[in-house]
Chains A and B, each alone.
Chain A
Amino acid sequence: MSDLTQVQIEQRDNVVVARLTGELDISVAESTGRKIADAVSSSARGVVVDMSGLEFMDSSGVSMLFALARQVGSHRQQLVVVAPTGKPVSRVLEIVEFGRAAPVREDVEAAVTVIATPQA
C-alpha cells in the first residue's frame, strides 16, 4: 500500500526534516527511503528523520535507516533520528542498537541542534 507511510519534507536552516507518519514495513521501506534521500540536496548539512508520528516500524525500516545513514555520510552530511523513548519505534531502534550508526533524539528541536552544532 503506497500510502501506508506518509513523508512530509520541511527545510529548517539548511537541514532537511522528514516527518514520517503511518506504519513502516517492507512494503513501503524502500520507497520511503528514496523519498527522503531525494529530498536531501547536496547543499543540505544534514537530515532529520522524525519518527515520533510513526505507529509501527519493523526491521525493514531499520535497514532503510542504516542505508540512509551510509548514504548521507558519504556526502559528508549527517543523519539524526527522532524517536521518543517508550514508543514501539524507539524500542526497535534500541534492540538493533541503531545508536551506533546515527544519533537518536527525543524531539525535532534536539535533532536539528545536533546538526547545527559544528562537529569537533
Chain B
Amino acid sequence: MRDLPGLFEVRVKARSIAYLFAAGASLGLLTLAFPHTDEIRDAPLIVLAGIAYAIAAAVWALADRIRDWHLHVALAAGTVIISLANYYAGPSTLYPILYTWTALYGFYFFPIREALAQMVFLAVAYAVVLAIQDADMVVVDWLLAVGTPAVAGLLIARLLAGIQHHALELRQSEERTRLVLDTAPDAFITLDRDGCITTWNAAAARMFGWRRDEAVGQKMRELIMPPEHADRHDERRQALVDRDDPLATETYEVELVRRDGRRFPGEATVSRVEAGGEVFAAGFITDTTERLRRQAEREALLREQAARAEAERVAEMVGGMQALVDAALAHRTLEGILRDLVTQVRGVVAADTATIYLADEGGRLSVGASSPGGGEVGHEFAIWVAESREAMLAQADALIGVPLLAEDEVIGVLMAGAEPPREFEGEDLTLLRLAGERVGLAIAHARVYEREHRIAETLQRSLLPDRLPDLPGLEVAARYLPAASEAEVGGDWYDVIPIAGGAVGLVMGDVAGKGLAGASMVGRLRSALRAYALEGHDGGRVVERLNRLLWTEAEESQMATMLYLIVDPAASTVRWVNAGHPPPLVMSRGEPRFLEGQGSVPLGVLPFPTYEEVIARLDPGDALLLYTDGLVERPGESLDRGLELLAATVRDAPNDPQGLLDHLLATLVPAGGAADDVALLTLFNLPVPEEFSAEFPAEPESLAPIRSMLRRWLAHAGADDIEIAEITTACGEAATNAIEHAGTSNGARFEVSGQREGSLIEIAVHDRGSWRSEREDDHGRGLELMRTLMDTVAVQPGEQGTTVSLRRRLGQPGGNAS
C-alpha cells in the first residue's frame, strides 16, 4: 500500500476521529439502555462514554489546529477507553466491532507503519482484557479475537485507499487538463445538452469577466450572448450536436457580451463532442477585436496605398499637362519645344509613342517631332484626323490622334500609340484632347516667339557695327557673345564713332529689356547717340539727351546703363561719362585701373539727372577696356570680386586688342557660356613713332583718318593746336590731290610719310599718278593753301608717280602767312 501524503486534510482526519469517539460512546451507552446483567457496573461505563464524548468534542472543536501526533494520541486513548469499557462491561460482541473501527481508522488515515504500531498497541490491550476476563481462553480463540479486527481493518482500509487513489489520480488529471485549458489563450467552454456551461477556462474568465464558479452551471445564452442573437446561436449549436458526424466542427463569427455589458467580436470554433454516451458542445472562442483592428488597419493601409498611387498617377498626369503648358510659355525654339512635347505627351496619356505632325501652308502634314518608335506611323490616320478636325481612335492600329488647333486653324495633329498594341479608351482620348489643346498653344506660341526672336536677333546684330572703323594710331577690337541660353536676345550694344577733330567716341551700353522691345530701344539709343556725338556735344550733354529719350519714349519703365567715352589721341586724353555702368578699365604701363568717380544713375531712372564728363590721361601705349556686366557678374559673388578677377585677368593678358579679348572670354566666361550676354570693346592707343609711313586707298574717305593720324603724330612732335590745324590742312590738300590723280581707278593707293629733325617737320605725299598742277574746279586754292600754311612745298614728278614734300619748322609764326 502506497502512502498518499496530502490525500486527506488533517481536518478530515480530526473530524473522522471525533465521529468515531462519539459513535463508540453512543454504542456503549446504548448497551446500557437494554436489559443487562447486574454484574455490569454502569457507572464506570458512563464515565468512559463521557470521556469519549469530551475527546470527540475537543477534537471537533480544535479540528483546524490539530496535528498528526494528536490524532495518534487520540487513537491510542480510544484503544485504552475501549479496553477499559470492555473490562467493565465484560465479554460482549460490541467491543470487537469497536476495535475493528479503530483499526480501520488507523489503516485508513495513517501511514502503514504508524497504523501497524497502533494495531500492536490495540492487540496488546485487547489481549490483556481477554486474559483478565477469561484466563482459560485457548490461544486459537485469542488469536482469532485479536486478529479479526486487525485483518478486517487492514483489508477494508486498503480497499478504501485504492478507491481514494483513483479518485486522486482522476482529480490530478482533471487538474492538469484544467491547467492546460487555463493556459490556453482562447476561451474554452463546454456545454451540456441543455446549453449550460460545464467548462470555463481562465481565458474565458478573462475574456468575459465571469469567474469559473460564477459561470459554470449558467446558461451560456444568458451569460455571454447578445439577446438578439441567442436563439440563432442555440439553433446552430443544436444542429451541430444533432449531426451524426462525430467530428463535426464549425467556425463562425459571433458577437459576444462581457460582464460589464460591452460587446466585442469573436470567432467561435465549436465541436461536437461525444463522451461517456453524452453528446455535448465544446468551443474555443477568440476575441477578434485586435485581429479585426489590425485587419482594418491593413485594409486602410492598402486603401491608402491605392489612393496614393492613384493620386500620384493623377499628379503625374496633371504635372505632365503643366509641363505642356510650361513648354507653351517657355521662350524656346520650336524644335526644342516639339521635342519636349512628345516626351511629355507620352507621360500624360501613358502611351509608348507620340508623334506631332505639323501642317505646312498647303495643309500637308509632316512629322514635326516624334518619340522613338513614332516616326511615320499613322500618317494616313493623321491626315484623316486633320480633315475631320475631331479626336479619333484607331483601335486596330492602337493609335489615337487629336487635331492641333490655333485660332481655329488646324496646325497639326498629335498622335499617340501603344507598343505592343493595347486598347485605348475614351479616357485616353480625353487626356490626349486636353494635351492637344496645350500642345497647339505651345506650338503657336513658339512660332510667334521664333518670329519675334529672329527679328530681334537680326535687329540686334544689325545694331552692332559689323566692321570697326580704322582709326590711325588707334586699334580697336570688340566681341559680342550672346548668353548661353537660347532664350533671349540681349540688350547689350557697343559702338565706335569717329568724331570730328580726330577724336573717337566709344559706347558700351546694356538696355534692361530683352527681345524685340529691348533691341528696338538699343536701335533708337544708338542712332540718337551717333547723331548727338557727331554734332559735337559734350559727353555729359549727349548722355543727358539719351536719358531724356529713354525717359519720355520708352515703353513702360525701360532702363539702360551706359558708358560714353571720347578718346582724343592728339591730346592723349579720355573723357568719359558713366550712367550706372561697370567702370571702364585703363591699362597703363601694364597696370590695370578702373576709371572710377562721377558715376551716375542709369538712363531712364530720373527725368533730369546730371551727367558730367570726367577726364583722364590716355597716353600712347595705354589701352581702354569696356565691357558689360555679363563678364563680371557671377551668381553668388559680389561685383567687386568680379572686378578684381577682371583686373587680374587683364594683367596677365596678351598686349594686343584681339589677344586681350580672346584671353578674357576664355578665362572669364564659363565653358557652357555666360548666363547673360557679354559685350567687350577695347581701344589701344598705339605708341607714336618718330617717323611714320602709311598707305591709304586713293579715295576721299581716307582723308579723315589721315588727318587723325597727323594730328596725333604732330601733337606728339610738340606742335601746338594752330600748327596742328594748319599742317593738317596743308597735308589734306596734298592728299586730296593724290586722290584726284588716281581718278576712278580701283585699288589705287597712295602713301603718306612723316619725319622730323628737331623742330623741323617734313611730310611727304607720294602717289603713282601723274601730277597736274591744278585741279580744275578749285582755281588752284589747294596749292595756295599748302604754300601759305607750310614753309616749303616741293612737287617732284617722277616715273613712279609724284611726290609732294611739305616742310615746316615748329615754334615759328604760321608758315608763309603774310
Contacts and interface: CB of A to CB of B under 8 A. Distances in A.
Interface of A: 1, 3-4, 6, 8, 21-23, 25-27, 53-56, 58-60, 62-63, 88, 91-92, 95-96
Given A23-B501, A25-B736, A95 B534 contact: no
B748 interface: no
Contacts of B728: 56
Given A59-B736, A62-B781, A6 B535 contact: yes
Contacts of A25: 700, 703-704, 732, 736
B322 to A, nearest CB: 53
B475 interface: no
25 contacts: A3-B530, A6-B535, A21-B536, A22-B534, A23-B500, A23-B501, A23-B707, A25-B704, A26-B700, A26-B739, A27-B703, A55-B500, A55-B536, A56-B728, A56-B729, A58-B733, A58-B782, A58-B785, A59-B781, A59-B785, A60-B778, A91-B729, A92-B729, A96-B781, A96-B785
B309 to A, nearest CB: 72
B784 A96 contact: yes
Contacts of B726: 88, 91
Contacts of A96: 781, 784-785
Nearest to A25: B703
A21 B501 CA distance: 10
Nearest to A58: B732
Contact of A55 (B501, B722, B777, B785): B501
Nearest to B469: A1
Interface of B: 498-501, 530-531, 534-536, 700-701, 703-704, 707, 722, 725-726, 728-729, 732-733, 736, 739, 777-778, 781-782, 784-785, 788-789, 817
B398 to A, nearest CB: 68
Contacts of A26: 700, 703, 736, 739
A21 B532 CA distance: 11
Interface of B is mostly: helix
B740 to A, nearest CB: 8
Contacts of B778: 59-60, 62-63
A54 B732 CA distance: 16
Nearest to A4: B704
A21 B704 contact: no
Contact of A95 (B536, B739, B784): B784
Given A23-B704, A59-B782, A62-B778, A88 B498 contact: no
A90 B224 CA distance: 132
Which 3 residue pairs of A and B lie closest in terms of their CB atoms, listed nearest first? A27-B700, A88-B725, A55-B500
B16 to A, nearest CB: 148
A59 B813 CA distance: 22
A88 B784 CA distance: 16
A6 B789 CA distance: 26
B725 A91 contact: yes
Contact of B777 (A21, A23, A63): A63
